[in-house]
Structure 1
């Protein structure tokens, strides 16, 4: 039997249309839950962290979910950069943008893109506090050397800069 020249290619199946990356403290009960509801209302498969499988390791589950999504929406808010989890998600999202051609849409919730890009103002304050928390005890707990910590922080800064350079949406009032 002759083989077809248009052999079927393995199509990458995505589990979710959209992955929402956000700081729960800042936006879970306001902007993020509203966006989540609107997207689900028009039958878009959206992942929010309350859908994590119980008993599964959070980190690997989240990273896999990011990879399985077609689009990532990053909701940058004042507290986003004070969360190590948010920054780890962001790094993975930016990696998937490069390697999997994932669509990334940044939303700047009550902050300006320049605050994210340069880690300034209230956004930068949260980032600085997180960085300062990496003392000897925390590094030991994370099983990380000081050099690895510096590399991690630079990786976060690069991801913040790169994401802030993507054309996105802003909810900040213009004066």
Structure 2
């Protein structure tokens, strides 16, 4: 039952979590293209059915993916959607044992872990918008710290 039941529950090989304005036409598009050429079934927000509720579609795709790749960039933490995805990604890692790979694009693991630098500035703006929801802010902060402690890749800006 083990392998066949777990492999049948996955619709995608890889789920890519990223902040569109920072990486969509840069690193993320190159990574997505390389995965596609290798015939790796990858979910990005390009596959969302227009008109569907974004959050439920994304959360379902996270659950249905074997590998969860989070591309951190300078403005990743300015998006509540990105941070909600991150919380779900770490929940799925714990519940289903999915592989989570953080990629630090033009930010460092320390920036993400401690919410410093440009990454921290973006998160500070979001904190102001959600200051009336300390539980949500605490979940996001804990998730950022937890994922930054995972082994991943740090990349500068290059092709």
If the length of structure 1 is used for normalisation, what is the TM-score?
0.85
CA deviations on 1:103-149 (whole Å, 9 max, x unpaired) are: 000000011100000000100000000111236xxxxxxxxxx3xx1
Hey, what does 1:162 align to over in structure 2? 146
- 1:43, CA displacement in angstroms? 0.7
CA shift, 1:53, in A, is 1.3
Instruction: Specify the alignment match of 1:86 in structure 2.
Output: 82
**Distance in 1 separating the partners of 2:12 and 2:91:** 17
Q: Which has the larger radius of gyration?
A: 1
Match of 2:28 in 1: 32
Whether the 8 Å contact between 2:101 and 2:152 is mirrored in structure 1 is yes
After superposition, the CA RMSD in angstroms is 1.3
Q: 1:71 is paired with a residue of what secondary structure?
A: strand
In the other structure, the counterpart of 2:136 is 152
- TM-superposed deviation, 1:97: 0.5
Matched residues in 2 for 1:159 and 1:81: separation? 11
User: Is the CA contact (8 Å cut-off) linking 2:112 and 2:145 kept in structure 1?
Assistant: yes
> Alpha-carbon deviation of 1:91?
0.2
Verify: 1:51 aligned to 2:47, yes or no: yes
Shift of 1:172: 3.0
Matching residue of 1:63: 59
Structure 2, unaligned runs of 5 or more? none
Whole-angstrom distance in 2 between the partners of 1:156 and 1:99:
18
- Give the paired residue count: 154
Which residue in the other structure is 2:156 paired with?
172
Q: Which residue of 2 aligns with 1:138?
A: none
Q: For the residues of structure 1 that align with 2:37 and 2:23, how far apart are their CA atoms?
A: 19
